[in-house]
Amino acid sequence: MFQLTLRRRGISDQAVLRAMEEVPRDQFVDDADRDGAYRDSALPIACGQTISQPFVVAYMTEQLQLQKKHRVLEIGAGSGYQAAVLSRLAGQVLTVERYRKLADAARIRLEKLNYHNVEVMLGDGLNLPPNIGPFDRIIVTAAMEQLPENLVERLEVGGILIAPVGPHQGVQTLIRLSRTEAGIERKELVEVRFVPALPGVAREL
From the candidates 52, 79, 87, 178, give the one annotated as an active-site residue: 52
Other Cβ atoms within 10 Å of 197 Cβ, number: 22
Angstrom CA distances, 46 to 29, 33, 49, 115, 168, stand at 9, 12, 6, 21, 19
In sequence order, the 6+-apart residues with CB closer than 8 A to the CB of 152 are 161, 177, 179, 184
Q: Which helix (H) or strand (E) holds 197?
A: none
The DSSP string of 50-94 is: EEPPHHHHHHHHHHH---TT-EEEEE--TTSHHHHHHHTTSSEEE
Q: Is there a catalytic annotation at residue 52?
A: yes
- Would you name the residues annotated as active-site residues? 52
